[in-house]
Amino acid sequence: MKLAILCRYFPKDAIGGGENYIYEIWKRAKNDYDTSLISGWKKDPNLLPEDTNKIDLRNKNPVYNYLKFFKQSGKYLKEIKPDLIQSTCYEFPSLGIPTVITVCHLGHLMGKVDTNLKRRLQRDITIKRFKKTNHLIAISKSTMNDLIKLGIPQSKISLAYTGINVENYKIKKTNNKKFTIICPSRISREKGQHIAIQAVKLLPKEVRENIKLQIVGFVNDETYLKELKNLSKDLDVEFLSNVPKIEDYIMNSDLLVFPTMMWEGFGIVAGEGLACEKPVISSDYPSIREVTGPYGLFVKPGDAKELSENILKVYKNEDLRERISKGGRKWIVDNYSWDRVYKEHKKVYDRII
């Protein structure tokens, strides 16, 4: 079977949960199918696999990029003539080819979007495309429920949790001079790094002086990064942008915070923290509760005071840190295997073809 995999971006040109997801599926699919990859790029096309069908998306106008991806991906699909398309995006033409779209998150389409013309148009186009697609794969029960709320028949949706490469996350006893808190995510306002900085500012002075905050991630918004640096003056905050292996920093931390402002589709960052036997404090969204099971600590999104209180609780309570750490890693090992995720995809492919 000829399989075409489509995505807006792909490692190592871009690094994030969605990019890692499609990479893991592509890596396994190559062993089973005649697989072609179609991907956009925005930094360096040479960072993509050599045989990728590449689309230049460096333009800062998202509408231009959407139309370019639509046109170029259609051209590639006509050349490849696949039996099946697997995609994590929907801006490609319907060519009568059986299609599976993996839906990573829908937060931008949920809630009150009717007053925002751009969001409403995006939602309407997305729903229309999803309804025409042969099958959708949701990466969490929360995302599946969101699809149903948008009017997608449940019979068209399968659940396949994203995986976590636990073997990449080693258990490491830290010996940091200061209690080190890591906030690892794409550096973009919706990920809430400013909430983490504000929370540290609210800690008692004697605790704050023994805290080091590391903000680690792919820079998506340079203006926001400058704001964060200004906000963090007089604090011990280290900014580590575009690092090759974010897991190295998670393993060397004492606590992971994930104050995202997004309605996350999965919240892999929280799972990565548990995989490293680190306590995790996250914004309270249903999908993140799915990831962490009984081992996460949660705060109201955007509430720096509540986050600060929970940081203080973890900082002071070694027994709490130990309980979360040991149980959390086992939870991830037992529930989030990439091989299991891929098997669920294969079941869908076999059903459609």
3-state secondary structure 297-310: EEECCCCHHHHHHH
In this prediction, residue 242 carries a pLDDT of: 79
Q: How many CB atoms lie within 10 A of CB 21?
A: 23
Rounded Cα distance between 30 and 5, Å, is 10
Chain Cα centroid distance, residue 183: 14
Given this model, what pLDDT does residue 111 score? 57
Query: What's the pLDDT at 108?
Result: 63
Peptide bond into 278 cis (omega under 30): no
Q: Which residues of the chain have pLDDT under 50?
A: 113
Task: Indicate if 166-335 has the same CATH topology as 2-163+337-352.
Answer: yes
* C-alpha dist (Å) from residue 91 to 45, 46, 72, 261, 344: 20, 23, 10, 25, 24
Does CATH number 3.60.20.10 belong to domain 2-163+337-352? no
For residue 174, what pLDDT is reported? 81
Give SS3 for 58: coil
Q: What is the pLDDT of residue 110?
A: 59
d(CA 101, CA 134): 8
**What CATH code is assigned to 166-335?**
3.40.50.2000
Question: pTM of the full predicted structure?
Answer: 0.77
What residues form DSSP beta bridges with 282? 258, 298
Sequence spans of domains, the chain: 2-163+337-352, 166-335
Could you read off the pLDDT of 231-276 as tens digits, one per residue?
Answer: 999 899 999 987 878 888 999 999 999 999 988 878 889 999 999 9
